[in-house]
Amino acid sequence: MDKIILKISGKYRTKRDSIMQLVNDISIQLYNLDPIDIKEDSLIDLSELKYIDSNISVILYSFIKFLINATPASISLIMPDNQELKKVFLKNNFSKLWGADAKIDTHDTIMKITETKNIKETTIELQNCFLPKLNKIFSKGYQYEFISSLAEVCQNSFIHGNAKNVYFCGQFYPKLHKLCITIINFGNTFQENVISYMKEKNMSITDYKFISWAFIESNTTDDNSSGIGLARFMDLIKYLNADLILLSGNEIYSYEKGKERDEFNPNLYIGGTIINIKFNLNENNFI
């Protein structure tokens, strides 16, 4: 008898609470799921998924890929009944999960879901995926500095986080004057790395804002690093009028409308890190 191992329904948008809800809805179902319990002809049911912003669909995509890679069993997907959502999945590479080739994005708003396995490949694919769109909205060459900084962040995922893969995707919303980029990996969390470093250095832990600690210039868990990579990335986020949402473990950091929040949510957990960047564009869709 077919068994549904993951069922996702409802609507998800590029907002702090909605991203947290998406992670919760996935992780709650997977928490007690052992790969050995996944039998042949298991199902992932997306039939009642009504809507998900294209850029954050990479979160769902990466979890499904994680499930598929964790077991030799054959897993089938039940795709959304919503035809408009299915069209988006056919354009942004999500459809690769069920073996369908991506369709042409005639509106030129989608930056397709991409998976990379090392920093060299990541740097190349970041340029291929994001740079064409960033060239149209950025000025004064900041698109190149942003791509370089983003590559450093991804490099941290491989080196400090021991991630095996990095996934990313983007979406331009011309009517909303927004451009959103989402990145996810299943490597070590900020909390794991910082606590391990602090214990090794006999440093006292005065609070539990590990992501905020990592954003401070000169703070690094790598003795061979100057610690400016994440600080430089955060400086660009602020300078380019962008908002940032970052989930790692059960810590949620956000920088939105010039205000920072860094807090723990005991009901949330992701064994890795999600980074969501939203560029707020002017009425002509430029930065």
Short-list 279, 282, 245, 237, CA closest to 262: 245
Q: What is the pLDDT of residue 33?
A: 85
- The pLDDT of residue 226: 39
* pLDDT for the residue numbered 158: 94
pTM, to two decimals: 0.94
pLDDT attached to residue 2: 63
In our burial notation (b when 16+ CB lie closer than 10 A, e otherwise), range 150-188 reads: bbbbbbbbbebbebebbbbbbbbbeeebbbbbbbbbbbb
Q: What is the pLDDT of residue 225?
A: 46
**pLDDT tens digit string along 222-258?**
544 434 678 999 999 999 999 999 999 999 999 999 9
- What are the per-10-residue average pLDDT scores of the chain (287 residues)? 86 97 94 82 95 98 93 91 95 90 89 96 96 89 92 91 96 97 96 88 82 83 57 93 96 95 91 96 93
Question: Can you give the chain as a three-state secondary structure string?
Answer: CCCEEEECCEEECCCHHHHHHHHHHHHHHHCCCCHHHCCCCEEEECCCEEEECCCCHHHHHHHHHHHHHHCCCCEEEECCCCHHHHHHHHHCCHHHHHCCCCCCCCCCCEEEEEEECCHHHHHHHHHHHHHHHHHHHCCCCHHHHHHHHHHHHHHHHHHCCCCCCEEEEEEEECCCCEEEEEEEECCCCHHHHHHHHHHHCCCCCCCCCHHHHHHCCCCCCCCCCCCCHHHHHHHHHHHCCEEEEEEEECEEEEEECCEEEEEECCCCCEEEEEEEEEEECCCCCCC
